[in-house]
Amino acid sequence: MPKHLKKIPKFKNEAQERRFWETHDSTDYVDWSKAERVRLPNVKPSTQTISLRLPTHMLERIKIEANKRDIPYQSLIKVWLKEKVL
């Protein structure tokens, strides 16, 4: 026998909806067995700006390497970090 699903209430704002879902089980409101996988190809990962102090000579070497690859030095730093971290 299929489970009777509760009706999802209307929310005034995102904060109210967040509070609701933090305290309620979604399986009472959604039949997850009928869910379909979706792809969101245009969603970009969030980023955060940081300040990083580097010795001048190191930054100059990074800029030279970036120039050889014809990419911005910040992009080269991100590539190198990604290679080491992931």
pLDDT score recorded for residue 52: 94
Judge whether residue 63 has pLDDT over 90.
yes
For the entire predicted model, the pTM comes to 0.50
CA 41 to mean position of chain CA atoms: 12
User: Exposure pattern of 3-41 as b/e (b: 16+ CB <10 Å)?
Assistant: eeeeeeeeeeeeeeeeeeeeeeeeeeeeeeeeeeeeeee
The pLDDT assigned to 1 comes to 54
pLDDT tens profile 7-21: 999 999 999 999 999
